[in-house]
Structure 1
Amino acid sequence: MSQAHTADARAHAFKRWKKPLTVAFFLLLIVLFTLLARRIDWSEVFATLSDFKLRTLWIAAGLTLCSFLVYACFDLIGRTYIRQPLRWKQILPVGIISYAFNLNLSAWVGGIAMRYRLYSRLGVSNANIAKILGLSLATNWFGYMALAGAVFSSGLVTMPPGWKLSSGALQGVGVLLVLASLGYLAACQFSRKRAWSIRGIEINLPSLRMACLQLALGALNWSLMAAVIFTLLPAKLDYPLVLGVLLISAIAGVVTHIPAGLGVLEAVFIALLQHEASRGSLLAGLIAYRAIYFILPLLIALVMYLAVEAKAKALRVKKTPA
Structure 2
Amino acid sequence: MSLQAAQAAPPVSMPADNAGAHASLWQRCRRWVLPLLGVAVLGLLLSHAHKVDWAGAWQALQRYSPWLLLAVLGLATASHALYGCFDLIGRRHLRHRLPWWRTWAIAVTSYAFNLNLGSLVGGIAMRARLYARAGLDDATVAQVVGLSLLTNWLGYGLLAGGLFAAGVIEPPRQAHIGQGALRALGVAMILLALGYVAACAVSRKREWAFKGKRLRLPNARIAVTQLALSTANWALMGTAMYLLLGQKVPYATTLSVLLAASIVGVITPIPAGLGVLEAVYLALLSGTVKQGALMGAVLAYRALYYLLPLAGGVVLYLFLERYASSHPGESEKEDEKKDEGVRPPEAPAASA
TM-score, normalised with respect to structure 1: 0.79
In the alignment, which residue of structure 1 is the partner of 2:292?
Answer: 280
In the alignment, which residue of structure 2 is the partner of 1:3?
Answer: none
- CA contact under 8 A between 1:146 and 1:178: conserved in structure 2? yes
Q: Deviation above 4 Å: which 4+ runs of structure 1?
A: 44-49, 160-163
In the alignment, which residue of structure 2 is the partner of 1:235?
Answer: 247
Gaps of 5+ in 1: 1-43, 317-322
Q: What is the rounded CA distance, in whole Å, between the counterparts of 2:61 and 2:125 in structure 1?
A: 35
- CA contact under 8 A between 2:57 and 2:299: conserved in structure 1? no
Q: CA deviation at 1:122?
A: 2.5
In the alignment, which residue of structure 1 is the partner of 2:84?
Answer: 72
Aligned letter for 1:221?
N
Moved more, 242-251 or 113-122: 113-122
Q: CA deviation at 1:289?
A: 0.8
Gaps of 5+ in 2: 1-55, 329-352
Give the 3 Å change call, closer, same or farther, for CA 315–171 of structure 1 in structure 2: closer
2:167 counterpart of 1:155: yes
Give the 3 Å change call, closer, same or farther, for CA 46–137 of structure 1 in structure 2: closer
Aligned letter for 1:194?
R
Name which of 115, 119, 130 aligns with 1:107: 119
Q: CA deviation at 1:166?
A: 2.8
What are the Cα deviations for residues 240-295 of structure 1, in whole angstroms up to 9, with x where unaligned? 10100111112211221222111111101110001110111111111111111111
Moved more, 102-111 or 227-236: 227-236
> The residue matched to 1:58 in structure 2 has which SS?
helix
Larger Rg: 2
> The residue matched to 1:211 in structure 2 has which SS?
helix
1:213-252 maps to which residues of 2 (within 5 A)?
213-252=225-264
Give the 3 Å change call, closer, same or farther, for CA 49–64 of structure 1 in structure 2: closer
Q: CA deviation at 1:68?
A: 0.6
> The residue matched to 1:171 in structure 2 has which SS?
helix
- CA contact under 8 A between 2:84 and 2:105: conserved in structure 1? yes
1:185-264 maps to which residues of 2 (within 5 A)?
185-264=197-276
> The residue matched to 2:204 in structure 1 has which SS?
coil
> The residue matched to 2:87 in structure 1 has which SS?
helix
Q: What is the rounded CA distance, in whole Å, between the counterparts of 1:273 and 1:86 in structure 2?
A: 45
TM-score, normalised with respect to structure 2: 0.73
Question: How many aligned residue pairs are there?
Answer: 274
Q: What is the rounded CA distance, in whole Å, between the counterparts of 1:300 and 1:256 in structure 2?
A: 26
- CA contact under 8 A between 2:76 and 2:305: conserved in structure 1? yes
Q: CA deviation at 1:176?
A: 0.9
Q: CA deviation at 1:76?
A: 0.6
- CA contact under 8 A between 2:117 and 2:272: conserved in structure 1? yes
Aligned letter for 2:298?
L
> The residue matched to 1:203 in structure 2 has which SS?
strand
2:176 counterpart of 1:167: no
- CA contact under 8 A between 2:156 and 2:230: conserved in structure 1? yes
Q: What is the rounded CA distance, in whole Å, between the counterparts of 2:175 and 2:121 in structure 1?
A: 35
Name which of 294, 298, 301 aligns with 1:289: 301
Q: What is the rounded CA distance, in whole Å, between the counterparts of 2:165 and 2:83 in structure 1?
A: 25
What value does the CA root-mean-square deviation take over the aligned residues? 2.1
> The residue matched to 2:214 in structure 1 has which SS?
strand
